[in-house]
Amino acid sequence: MTNKNTPDDKNKRDFLQVSTYALGAVGAASFVWPLINQMNPAADTLALASTEVDLEQLEEGQAITVTWRGKPVFIRHRTKEEIASAKDQLLDGLRDPQTDDERVKNEKYIVLVGVCTHLGCVPLGQKSGDVKGEYGGWFCPCHGSHYDHSGRIRKGPAPTNLEIPQYSFLSDTLIKIG
Amino acid sequence: MSKPKFKNPVVNWIDYRLPIFTFMNHELNEYPTPKNLNYFWNFGSLAGITLVIMIVTGIVLSMNYTAHIDYAFDSVERIMRDVNHGWLLRYIHMNGASFFFIVVYIHIFRGLYYGSYKAPREILWILGVLILLLMMATAFMGYVLPWGQMSFWGATVITNLFSAIPLVGESIVTWLWGGFSVDNPTLNRFFSLHFVLPFVIVGVVILHLVALHRFGSNNPIGIDVKGKQDTIPFHPYYTIKDLFGLSVFATVFAAAVFFFPNFMGHPDNYIPANPMVTPAHIVPEWYFLPFYAILRAIPDKLGGVLFMFGAIMVLFVLPWLDKSSVRSSQFRPLYKLFFWFLVIDCIALGYLGAMPAEGIYVVLSRLATAYYFFHFLIILPLLPKIESTRPLPVSISTPIITTSSNASTVMAMREKK
Ligand code: HEM
Ligand code: FES
């Protein structure tokens, strides 16, 4: 009868114990993941259709707001002066340096996700009577972020420029967002 | 269990098998309590009662509420207009949240003033701060349910706080929303969590009470109970005092519910949520204002979020920041002074949180934020080095006459009679 605990037995038991814990942990994690992942956007939410917008009627100096993925998208037909001021801006003074050319497909139209990059409010500046902030573009009233004619952050707590959604020009005046 | 303890044989029969009556007798009846507690010790029981009120009204509200972005606002209006006594139940629940915070904030400042967080009550204190955090999460998600303008934009701003986290921030926010903005999936999960979190709070409250009953209540002079002569049984002395406190509280609460039900709310929340238009001036509910002021005081997104959460995190480590072995402010002249500065500072932060973030308000918010952290991180650790504390009484029953309060003299005179 050899039922004494030899060092070999102890090693075997340690191995069994560690592998049981490890397997248990993997099993638990693979059960927890579905519980967490169900909170991520569902397939139908991801499949939300794209939006087409006709810019024919949009005069110089006017802006419209359309909805895309539940968020406002700003489209502005910029004036000559606005384009010039957006282009002349030196990158040195910018918090999130980007040239105007990097931010537009057709310099007449600037297309932006109308959500402040600070904490998500909708900035003012789309309507003619709105406060537009110190740089003439958009102004977020929630905590005071100022954006320029290119939607770049210039002053206030927002860390980055207004986001540019995915979009393409289907013709000169028809764009598809998404 | 040699001989029966209760007069009623049925109670005895049950208690032998399930010692619930022994437990209640021990914790609620004979439970020895310091005999010198003042009215600030009423707020614990008031908080517990308010939690029950919130759960009861919440359950009946949820029988009439619809958690869908197209119906939520209307279902709350239907509760207000058509459901029998719906207006009353909703106003109790809505004002109950504010009163819950009033009670809990007083309860917390009581703890700060009398040093109730010090050894051996550190875990008791930490569980309390945890309850505060859970309450905040619950109230935040509850406020989203009526789906008004403030609900929507409050939810947007607060969930966006998480986007400040480097690298994974955006994914976390998408995960919280279940989409690309605050939308129907967000409302559904908030309702689910708003329903369940109060029961989690009940669980933590039970742990809080277990920790409390380990060493019993602290008391206004902050010294340990030395023996039987320092305590009185909980029942009837404190049950009756808690009931009296409750009747005063209920009177004020009822006055708010019946006469000023919307005083602590915001009119914009009676406008249905509109994801395309942010209200000109968004403010959180009053009980979040001091934290909101701290968030806005820091001119950096991540920094603001860190400082805001930091304001609560310092409370978790408070038992180790305050190194003085004397508990009660009554014997700490300098601490007492700084305690009142902190109270003023917190009220100032609350006021500044409601003001627009511009001009002088920004400067003042920064000063008040700096002072808040200065109090906890610099003043408290340094204070014991320079403060000369007053002599402590020998026991609760025999306070020495040299203390500034003449309560001790009065007590001594009573004892002579
Ligand atoms: C810690 C306890 C609780 C707090 C602090 C709390 C807080 C709140 C707040 C601030 C609101 C918004 C009131 C308004 O402006 O209309 C609300 C709404 C609501 N709560 Fe609670 N609540 C609590 C417990 C519960 C529980 C336990 C339930 C359900 C079992 C519940 C169900 C509801 C429902 C259905 C609404 C939407 C109806 C309404 O807005 O009046 N609550 N809650
Ligand atoms: S959300 Fe725009 S400045 Fe804060």
Q: Is the pLDDT of residue B402 over 50?
A: no
> Per-residue pLDDT for B400 more than 60?
no
Question: How is residue B13 written in tokens?
Answer: 């029969």
Residues in chain B: 417
- The sign one gets for the Cα dihedral B155, B156, B161, B163 is positive
In this prediction, residue A137 carries a pLDDT of 93
Question: According to the model, what pLDDT value does residue B354 have?
Answer: 93
- What pLDDT does residue B417 have? 37
Q: What is the pLDDT of residue B3?
A: 56
Please report the pLDDT score of residue B404 as a whole number: 47
Whether A128 contacts A141, CB under 8 Å = no
> Which carries the bigger pLDDT value, residue B79 or residue A89?
B79
Q: What is the mean pLDDT of residues B63-81?
A: 98
A121 within 8 A of A72, measured Cβ to Cβ: no
pLDDT at A161: 96
Q: Whose alpha carbon is nearest atom 4 of ligand 2?
A: A143
Place of tokens 């409750």: B246
Distance from CA of A32 to the nearest CA of B (A): 15
CB pair distance less than 8 Å for B157 and A70: no
Contact of B280 with chain A, judged by CB distance below 8 Å, is answered with yes
Q: State yes or no: pLDDT of B326 exceeds 50.
A: yes
Inform me whether the pLDDT recorded for A1 exceeds 90.
Answer: no
Whether B288 has a pLDDT exceeding 90, the answer reads yes
Q: Kindly report, residue by residue over B86-140, the tens digit of the pLDDT.
A: 999 999 999 999 999 999 999 999 999 999 999 999 999 999 999 999 999 999 9
For residue A121, list chain B residues with Cβ-Cβ distance below 8 A: 153, 156-157, 278, 282
Q: In the predicted model, what is the mean pLDDT of residues B160-167?
A: 91
Of A42, A119, A157, the CB nearest to B299: A157
From chain B residues 140-169, the ones with a CB under 8 A of any chain A CB are 153, 156-161, 163
pLDDT tens for each residue of A101-115: 999 999 999 999 999
> What average pLDDT does range B380-403 have in this prediction?
84
* pLDDT band at A3; cut points 50, 70, 90: low
On average, the pLDDT of chain A sits at: 90
Inter-residue contact A39 to B175 (CB < 8 Å): yes
Q: What is the mean pLDDT of residues B194-211?
A: 98
pLDDT of residue B407 exceeding 70 = no
Q: Supply the pLDDT for residue A2.
A: 56
Long-range contacts for B25-31 (Cβ within 8 Å, ≥24 apart)?
B27/B209, B27/B213, B27/B234, B28/B234, B28/B235, B28/B239, B29/B233, B29/B234, B29/B235, B30/B233, B30/B234, B30/B235, B31/B213, B31/B216, B31/B233, B31/B234, B31/B235
- Mean per-residue pLDDT, B48-56: 98
The CA B93 to ligand 1 mean position distance, Å, reads 6
Chain B residues whose beta carbon lies within 8 Å of the beta carbon of residue A115: 181
Q: Is the Cβ pair B175, A39 closer than 8 Å? A: yes
Residues of A in contact with B276 (CB under 8 A): 65, 67, 72, 122
Residues of chain A positioned with their CB less than 8 A from the CB of B357: 143-144
More confident residue, A145 or B192: B192
Averaged pLDDT for residues B247-276: 96
- Residue B67 in this model has a pLDDT that exceeds 50: yes
> Band of the pLDDT at A93, cuts 50, 70, 90?
confident
Q: Catalytic annotation on A118?
A: no
User: Which residues pair with residue A153 across a beta bridge?
Assistant: A147
pLDDT band at B5 (very low <50, low <70, confident <90, very high): confident
Q: Is A142 in the pocket of ligand 2 (CB under 6 A)?
A: yes
Decide if B301 and A158 are in contact by the 8 Å CB cutoff: yes
d(CA B365, CA B380): 22
Closest ligand to B301 CA? Answer: 2
Q: State residue B262's pLDDT score.
A: 96
ipTM score of the complex?
0.84
* Residue-level pLDDT at A88: 87
Q: Which two tokens stand for residue B67?
A: 């958690």
Ligand 1 cavity residues, CB under 6 Å: B 51, 54-55, 58-59, 61-62, 65, 76, 90, 93-94, 97, 100, 135, 138-139, 142-143, 145-146, 194-195, 198, 201
Model confidence at B163: pLDDT above 70: yes
Q: What is the pLDDT of residue A17?
A: 94
Top-confidence residue, A4 or B389: B389
Average pLDDT over residues B220-232: 93
CB contact B276 to A (< 8 Å): yes
Could you say which of 3.40.1360.10, 1.20.810.10, 1.20.140.10, 1.25.40.10 is the CATH number of the domain covering B34-278? 1.20.810.10
The more confidently predicted of residues B338 and B402 is B338
* B331-370 pLDDT, tens digit each: 999 999 999 999 999 999 999 999 987 789 989 999 999 9
Domains of chain B by residue range: 1-30, 34-278, 283-390
- Could you say which of 3.90.550.10, 1.10.287.980, 1.20.1080.10, 3.40.50.170 is the CATH number of the domain covering B283-390? 1.10.287.980
